[in-house]
Structure 1
Amino acid sequence: MENKRINGNDLIALGYEENFALGEALKINKKRLGFTREEMLLKFAEVLATPDSYLEDGLFKSLASALLNVDEVAKATISLKEGKQQYTIYGESQIEEGALRQMDLAMKLPVAVAGALMPDAHQGYGLPIGGVLATHHAVIPYGVGVDIGCRMALSIFDVPEEHLYLHHDLYKKVIMDNTKFGAGHGYLKHERVDHAVLANKAFEANDFIRQLKDKAWTQLGSSGGGNHFVEFGVMEFKETDRTLGIEKGRYVALLTHSGSRGLGATIADHYTKLAKKLCSLPYEAQNLAYMSLDTAEGQEYWLAMNLAGDYASACHEVIHEKIGRALGAERLAMIENHHNFAWKELHQGEEVIVHRKGATPAAKGVLGIIPGSMATPGFLVRGKGKEEAIHSASHGAGRLMSRTKAIKTIARKDLKSMLSDNGITLIGAGLDEAPMAYKNIHEVMAAQEDLVDIIASFSPKIVRMADDGSRED
């Protein structure tokens, strides 16, 4: 127990309040410098009782200063709305308390206009995953997320499902030869491909963005870690879809999920830190720091965010084009959608900034893709344009277990058995991505029947994910 981590609740039990001094204490605790847990707790109690005596202390002086300046900082802090603000929740019985608390807090921001929580929601940083928040002329970097422009892309080929089973090894080889996975991974110079996105003028907007261009080129057409994937499967249309021009039947399809790679992650980190400097929110709301679009900083982030979104789309385009060429198959349709992004939209006649952090755009008639897991179906959907949901739907099944809990509780033999029962070949991935770590996709879809119509279903058959422990999701 001696080395058990000290957390915020431990410090609150000593008498610390939830303010920036608590945050400073947690930063100091990471250093430890040879102190045991009990010794650190005693030190924290002493600094809280007599901060003046620690102003020259090498380790605790920043905490002492923070404690002595709490009142001054509080005066400069932006006030949140008082009381619980109303928002719509879908599938509430399956949403963890942490996600609800995060959404409650987000709705108290002075710039918040409306919100909604999707049935796949779970706790994240700032806005919960599955959270939708409309704001007045302000953008929240952590409301968009770290993997800016993370998206789904689906190619439906004019190939009957039997071809996938008869030529299984060919499809597996095509995936292996034309994809690359893992946080930080990319292509060597002679392997790189060109794309129009690299000529985007936004890359020349400022020195910060300019120095990211080579990294973007290196990773163009690659996929991240965590829950990102490239998979072949069977697409089933139970009825002919006249809009897409696809007849009733079962087709081979390619489904991909990933985002803007290192480009987006670096942009998110940079502008989140900048937002926190410019927007002094109460300690518990710091990850919701926002920037007005009337400011130069807000406009810079908006430009960079849109660049990352375009880049994410380009990555999927490269993957789908390479795989399509390798197969020599005719593509009947390609559908894609972002789900970590912010858009300018109208809500009840007012222009707002809609943040969808792990949520699918579902305006009336808009197509989207909602995946399940490596062993459960995903769905091609058409939005119904529900205003209470801010024209949104879930972006997947949503996590039921944290990654740590999944690794500790799910047996590899159970995963192998489930994959075998469903006829699925898995390349890469860890136990943290096992289907058992996710909510029941059918229950999630049932909770959002008012938000989308199901057009077709996708059953995974050959799935590739990162196998290096990457967590870029």
Structure 2
Amino acid sequence: MPVKQVINKGRVPIKIYTDQIEHGALNQLINIAQLPIIHHHVAAMPDVHAGIGATVGSVIPTAGAIIPAAVGVDIGCGMNAVRLTLKAADLPDDLRRLRGAVEQAVPVGFNHHDKPTVQRKAVNQLDAGLDRIIGRHPGIAKMQKPHVWARQLGTLGGGNHFIELCLDENQAVWVMLHSGSRGIGNVIGRYFISLARKDAQRHQLHLPDRDLAYFQEGAEHFDDYVHAVEWAQDYALANRREMMRLVVEALRPLLPPFQVSKEAINCHHNYVARETHFGQDLFLTRKGAIAAARDQLGIIPGSMGTRSYIVRGKGNAESFCSCSHGAGRTMSRSEAKRRFNRSDLEAQTRGVECRKDKGVLDEIPGAYKDIDQVMADQTDLVDIVHTLKQVLCVKG
């Protein structure tokens, strides 16, 4: 579908790919559109909803500046998916042993490995980059214990992060996972968000929201933030690669012999990139959105009881070559816990081997938008390549 709403209440228009947007999210978008650094327009994807710092599901083009709170604290959060040379018939009837093997191999929540599991060369490369960041900003080291980040490589985290075993429309088996830059990304995000707020106060910037404080090119902390956020995004990619390796190896002893096919996708959906749009070199922040350049493959997950999609981008200029990053929440986590109970969770995840306790109640499918409607709203942005349905889900 083409753009459904165009809102002209800021310095630039807001182009929205859904007719279902809550008041809070719209106000956040209007605030963003008032900033002098925004180029051309702001785009809102079909899964748009209110977020912390900036609207989730927004694509924010900034000229010569970056808004740290728009990038957020889960820097580089995103998806990874691979197809295996297995079919549904190759899976056991009872998937509990498979879930147990994955949970044993990949620490979840605040847990981490006892020691780094990735090759020492990869750790050393990341370590050197982080040392340069901390050398200029020692306050970052005070916010996280030394080298915890190395033991968190290949770990899931909590919240909406997950690992799934899925079947596509041809009954082929896929492994799909969702995670980001873990604790160190959170520390880097919070540290520079605080610096941006202090800079805004010092320079007496008149902002519609203090979370929209930004660094401009040439400012004291601009280059340091760019370096730090790019490091965190690289870390997130490495984290997903290592996690995928651990999951695949955990599954091998419990399944018939298999290989990983060439269809591997590793994409961010909370990040900033240097791109050119509407004749301008920009810093493009995708806050809960993925890149969807022409023929670019991406992943749009649903909730833990609904379908997910492997998609191919159409390179739509109005969306800044972007599309949604998932279904998008319709209610807060606290509201989901008030509205639903364990019986609801069991009913909405029937047929999926997963946790069904109150600890994951805030991730119940009913707390999310209808993924099919989200996909229908972005037919101008992507084509569906594969439709996946999970049979196993591990949550943080």
Do both share a fold (TM > 0.5)? yes
Pair 1:164-2:91 in alignment: yes
Pair 1:109-2:35 in alignment: yes
Pair 1:456-2:392 in alignment: no
- Amino acid in structure 2 at the alignment position of 1:142: A
Instruction: Identify the residue that residue 119 of structure 2 maps to in structure 1.
Output: 194
Instruction: Identify the residue that residue 100 of structure 1 maps to in structure 2.
Output: 26
1:365 is matched with which residue: 295, 298, 319? 295
Using the size of structure 2 for normalisation, the TM-score is: 0.89
| Cα contact 1:197–1:310 (8 A) shared by 2 | no
Pair 1:215-2:143 in alignment: no
Q: CA deviation at 1:294?
A: 2.4
Q: Which secondary structure state, in structure 1, belongs to the residue aligned with residue 185 of structure 2?
A: helix
Q: Which secondary structure state, in structure 2, belongs to the residue aligned with residue 112 of structure 1?
A: coil
Instruction: Identify the residue that residue 265 of structure 1 maps to in structure 2.
Output: 186
Pair 1:154-2:81 in alignment: yes
- Amino acid in structure 2 at the alignment position of 1:426: C
Structure scoring higher RCO (CA < 8 A, sep ≥ 6) equals: 2
| Cα contact 2:154–2:246 (8 A) shared by 1 | no
State the distance in 1 between where 2:367 and 2:383 align. Answer: 26
State the distance in 1 between where 2:14 and 2:285 align. Answer: 14
| Cα contact 1:156–1:235 (8 A) shared by 2 | no
Q: CA deviation at 1:326?
A: 2.8
| Cα contact 1:148–1:309 (8 A) shared by 2 | yes
Larger deviation, residues 198-207 vs 342-351:
198-207
- Amino acid in structure 2 at the alignment position of 1:424: V
Query: 1:372-391 maps to which residues of 2 (within 5 A)?
Result: 372-391=302-321
Instruction: Identify the residue that residue 78 of structure 1 maps to in structure 2.
Output: none
Larger deviation, residues 324-333 vs 260-269:
324-333
CA 1:167 to 1:252, structure 2 compared with 1: closer, same or farther past 3 Å?
A: farther
State the distance in 2 between where 1:350 and 1:283 align. Answer: 24
| Cα contact 2:102–2:250 (8 A) shared by 1 | no
| Cα contact 1:197–1:314 (8 A) shared by 2 | no
Q: CA deviation at 1:327?
A: 2.8
1:228 is matched with which residue: 149, 161, 167? 161
Deviation string 1:365-420 (CA, Å, 9 cap, x unpaired) is: 11110000000000000111111111111110000111111000112112112222
1:326 is matched with which residue: 247, 250, 260? 250
Q: Which secondary structure state, in structure 2, belongs to the residue aligned with residue 217 of structure 1?
A: helix
Instruction: Identify the residue that residue 253 of structure 1 maps to in structure 2.
Output: 174
User: Which has the larger helix fraction?
Assistant: 1
Q: Which secondary structure state, in structure 2, belongs to the residue aligned with residue 327 of structure 1?
A: helix
Instruction: Identify the residue that residue 284 of structure 2 maps to in structure 1.
Output: 354
CA 1:197 to 1:136, structure 2 compared with 1: closer, same or farther past 3 Å?
A: farther
Query: 1:260-339 maps to which residues of 2 (within 5 A)?
Result: 260-280=181-201, 281-282=205-206, 284-328=208-252, 329-332=258-261, 333-339=263-269
Q: CA deviation at 1:192?
A: 4.2
State the distance in 2 between where 1:397 and 1:133 align. Answer: 19
| Cα contact 1:344–1:354 (8 A) shared by 2 | yes
1:133 is matched with which residue: 48, 57, 60? 60
CA 1:443 to 1:324, structure 2 compared with 1: closer, same or farther past 3 Å?
A: same
State the distance in 1 between where 2:345 and 2:199 align. Answer: 47
Using the size of structure 1 for normalisation, the TM-score is: 0.75
Deviation string 1:279-333 (CA, Å, 9 cap, x unpaired) is: 2433642101110132341111111111111111111111111222233331002
| Cα contact 2:123–2:150 (8 A) shared by 1 | no
Which structure 1 residue ranges, 5 or more long, are not aligned?
1-80, 237-248, 467-473
Larger deviation, residues 426-435 vs 380-389:
426-435
Instruction: Identify the residue that residue 185 of structure 1 maps to in structure 2.
Output: 111
Larger Rg over CA atoms: 1
CA 1:365 to 1:82, structure 2 compared with 1: closer, same or farther past 3 Å?
A: closer
State the distance in 2 between where 1:83 and 1:159 align. Answer: 52
State the distance in 2 between where 1:283 and 1:298 align. Answer: 18
Instruction: Identify the residue that residue 47 of structure 1 maps to in structure 2.
Output: none
Aligned length: 369
Query: 1:6-21 maps to which residues of 2 (within 5 A)?
Result: none
State the distance in 2 between where 1:432 and 1:323 align. Answer: 25
Pair 1:344-2:277 in alignment: no
- Amino acid in structure 2 at the alignment position of 1:330: Q
| Cα contact 2:81–2:176 (8 A) shared by 1 | yes
| Cα contact 1:115–1:390 (8 A) shared by 2 | no
Which structure 2 residue ranges, 5 or more long, are not aligned?
1-7, 253-257
Q: Which secondary structure state, in structure 1, belongs to the residue aligned with residue 74 of structure 2?
A: coil
Q: Which secondary structure state, in structure 1, belongs to the residue aligned with residue 293 of structure 2?
A: coil
Larger deviation, residues 329-338 vs 206-215:
206-215
What value does the CA root-mean-square deviation take over the aligned residues? 1.9
| Cα contact 2:197–2:213 (8 A) shared by 1 | yes
CA 1:287 to 1:308, structure 2 compared with 1: closer, same or farther past 3 Å?
A: same
Moved over 6 A (4+): none
* Identity rate, percent: 37
Q: CA deviation at 1:363?
A: 1.1
Q: Which secondary structure state, in structure 2, belongs to the residue aligned with residue 264 of structure 1?
A: helix
